[in-house]
Chain A
Amino acid sequence: MKTITLAAALALGFAAHTAQAADKMNDLEIAHTAYTAGQIDIRYAHLALAVSENAEVRAFAETMIRDHTAVNVAAGDLITKLNVTPQDNDLSRTLVKGAADKRAELMSLSGKAFDCAYAQNELGYHQVVNQTVEGVFIPTVTVEPLKDLLSEALVTFKVHEGHAEQMVNGLKCG
């Protein structure tokens, strides 16, 4: 249960941080953080493809790369169209740091231990990101096309969350 506790702790820390920073974030910071969140999940997925030999885990990782890439390409297109530059911010930096730590932890694992840790992290990560996108980003953002994009992205991320939950249950990590 160690990994669940860690994921929960990370989730709580992130959520608390998010609540604090929420009303201070502008559209460009929100865009940066949403994009960063997708890139982070893509990196987790590449790690999973490098390490895991479980067919279900590998298929999930491939879907994460495919879907998050598609969402971020759309985000990039919108950013180009709006002719703006997303702004790095505390929340993006917190996410990047947390992900680097988690990747280091995952890289020390192999076999079923890796699969379980990856699956549980995917579940926790999507839960936190989805809560933030739905509860903070979408209500806060002022530019309509960005709000639309986040809303559509949320549909994708929620499917991922459900898929991650199935994967965790299927792996019987105990």
Chain B
Amino acid sequence: MRLTRRQVCFGAGGAIVGSALPASGSVPVVVEIRAFAFDPAEVTIRAGETVRWINHDFAPHTATDDEGNWDTEELEKGGQATIRFDTPGTYPYFCAYHPHMKGVVIVTA
């Protein structure tokens, strides 16, 4: 199994604000991808905190912003990606490979 680890940060409007993590020492909220579903499908974090997606399926998945502003890119089995959200808002996302897979990140001030 090849492990992938990716860390990305997005600011207002999805601009990448930095490539190093973590800026704050906060622990990421984890979304497990299992049996073609995001679990939990909805997570709520504070601005500046991070969400980490971990794929447990054989099938590669992504977590891709509906608006196209952020994307974990392909996560193989065992792969993970962490994204920081700096701007409050509601961010629906889906899997680019299996579009019926949907989730949402809610970022509070």
Which residues of A come within 8 Å of B, CB atoms?
A: 62-63, 66-67, 70-71, 74, 77, 152-153, 155-156, 159, 162-163
Q: Using known A-B contacts A63-B98, A70-B76, A74-B77, determine if residue A159 contacts B36 with beta carbons closer than 8 Å.
A: yes
Complex CA–CA separation, A126 to B36 (angstroms): 17
Taking a contact as CB atoms under 8 Å apart, the answer to whether A63 and B97 are in contact is: yes
Q: Using known A-B contacts A70-B77, A159-B36, determine if residue A153 contacts B58 with beta carbons closer than 8 Å.
A: yes
Complex contacts, B57 vs chain A, CB 8 Å: 152, 155-156
Question: Number of residue pairs across A and B with beta carbons under 8 Å?
Answer: 37
Please report the total number of B residues contacting A with Cβ < 8 Å: 12
Complex contacts, A153 vs chain B, CB 8 Å: 58
Complex CA–CA separation, A70 to B98 (angstroms): 15
B59's partner among A62, A77, A156, A162 (CB-CB below 8 A) is: A156
A–B Cβ pairs within 8 angstroms, 17 of them: A63-B97, A63-B98, A66-B59, A66-B60, A66-B97, A67-B97, A70-B59, A71-B59, A74-B58, A74-B77, A153-B58, A156-B59, A159-B36, A159-B59, A159-B98, A163-B98, A163-B100
For window 83-109 of B, CB contacts with A under 8 Å fall at: 97-98, 100
Complex contacts, A159 vs chain B, CB 8 Å: 36, 59, 98, 100
Complex contacts, B21 vs chain A, CB 8 Å: none
B35 contacts chain A at the CB level, 8 A cutoff:
yes
For window 59-90 of B, CB contacts with A under 8 Å fall at: 59-60, 76-77
Complex contacts, B36 vs chain A, CB 8 Å: 155-156, 159
Complex CA–CA separation, A62 to B36 (angstroms): 17
Taking a contact as CB atoms under 8 Å apart, the answer to whether B35 and A67 are in contact is: no
Not counting A63-B98, A152-B58, a sample of 13 additional A-B residue pairs whose C-beta atoms are within 8 angstroms of each other reads: A62-B97, A66-B59, A67-B59, A67-B60, A71-B58, A74-B77, A152-B57, A153-B58, A156-B57, A159-B59, A159-B98, A159-B100, A163-B100
